[in-house]
Amino acid sequence: MTQDIRWGILGTGGIAHAQTTDLLGNGFTVTAVGSRSQESADAFAAEFGIPTAHGSYEALVADPDVDVVYVSTPHPFHAEAALLALNAGKHVLVEKPFTLNAAEAREVVDTAARNHLVVLEAMWNRFLPHTLRIREIIAAGTLGDVRTLIADHNQNLPKDPKHRINDPALGGGALLDLGVYPVSFAFDLFGTPSSVQAIAAKTATGVDRQTAIVFGYGDGQQAVLHTALDTLGPNTAAIIGTAGRIEIDSVWYTPTGFTVYDSEGAVVERFEHEVKNRGMQFQAWEAERLIAAGLTAGDILPPEESVRVMETLDEIRRQIGLSYPGE
């Protein structure tokens, strides 16, 4: 962490509260918050002891005391907010899903590259300690030839049709809010799939209530993924190879533990690691690392991969017949 990098928070919703709690709880510097209303910005600033509250996003990105902006708006507004910050010369950490679709993602990534700025998707599980250890185990060959990922992200969320998770105008549905986690995990393990198959059932509002996805890869690997917004699942994941497997505890995409087994089922390793706060500080550390080093892309989640994830999400939506207003 670099002490002189200053954060601005764009948006004041629940995820902004979670990220700001983890920033301040881990020694980061938060200098400003911006909202569409001065009242909301003032309340957020007072809650967290943030020095400056702006009543517009434009004012936030123009603030000379802000170096990097955390974008926490609803999905359809990620690209607009990210572009606003990038064009004002600010680095950006943008909430997942990166954007609403791949066309928006490409515009954001190209703008960041043109301005020599960091744009990082806030896919926070990519940067957690247990995920880093899993990569080490796979790289060491402990699992042999890694063949399969099985992962679910199923939650029992509000049924109110006006809630953002059920609202097409806000990019609602299980896929972009929940399914993006296992989809991104599959990219982390295997890269871009060579084949995509998806089926879904929809809510009365027209967004996907549940979606099942199978990815295939050139060397025969498979990812079997499931997501739902109205049924609570185990939220576990398994990585299976020819020499062993990893079973990740619930909830697999949050700070948690896992167990490594050999091909006979014997325990090889048990991993547990206590994480302070929610764990969203790790993605912020990565953003600061890139900024301090003068880099615009890291190995864990480069911007181009965020574009490829959005392309795959677009293909899943095409197969299940899910589109959003204005697309």
Does the active-site annotation cover 96?
yes
Give the bridge partners for 146, in sequence order.
241
Sort residue 242 into left (φ over 0), alpha (ψ -120 to 50) or beta: alpha
Give the type of residue at 236.
T
In 3D space, the residue among 175, 298, 168, 278 whose CA is nearest the CA of residue 225 turns out to be 175
Output the six-digit token pair for 87. Answer: 């064009």
**Amino acid present at 219:** D
Q: How many CA atoms within 13 Å lie on the side-chain side of 96?
A: 26
Enter the tokens of residue 215.
């990815």
In the numeric block, the tokens 């899903």 are attached to 97
Distance of CA 108 to the CA centre of its chain: 16
Q: Cα torsion at 228, 229, 230, 233 (round to 10°)?
A: 50
Could you give the residue ranges of the DSSP H alpha helices within 140-207? Answer: 174, 180-190
Q: What is the largest CA-CA distance in the chain?
A: 61
Nearest to 225 by CA among 252, 259, 255, 265: 252
CA pair distance 42, 31, nearest whole angstrom = 13
Out of 96, 159, 162, 276, which one is annotated catalytic?
96
Distance CA 55, CA 37 (A): 5
- Best CA proximity match to 173, nearest among 161, 185, 182, 183: 161
Q: What angle do CA 202, 95, 20 make, to 5 degrees?
A: 125
List the catalytic residues.
96
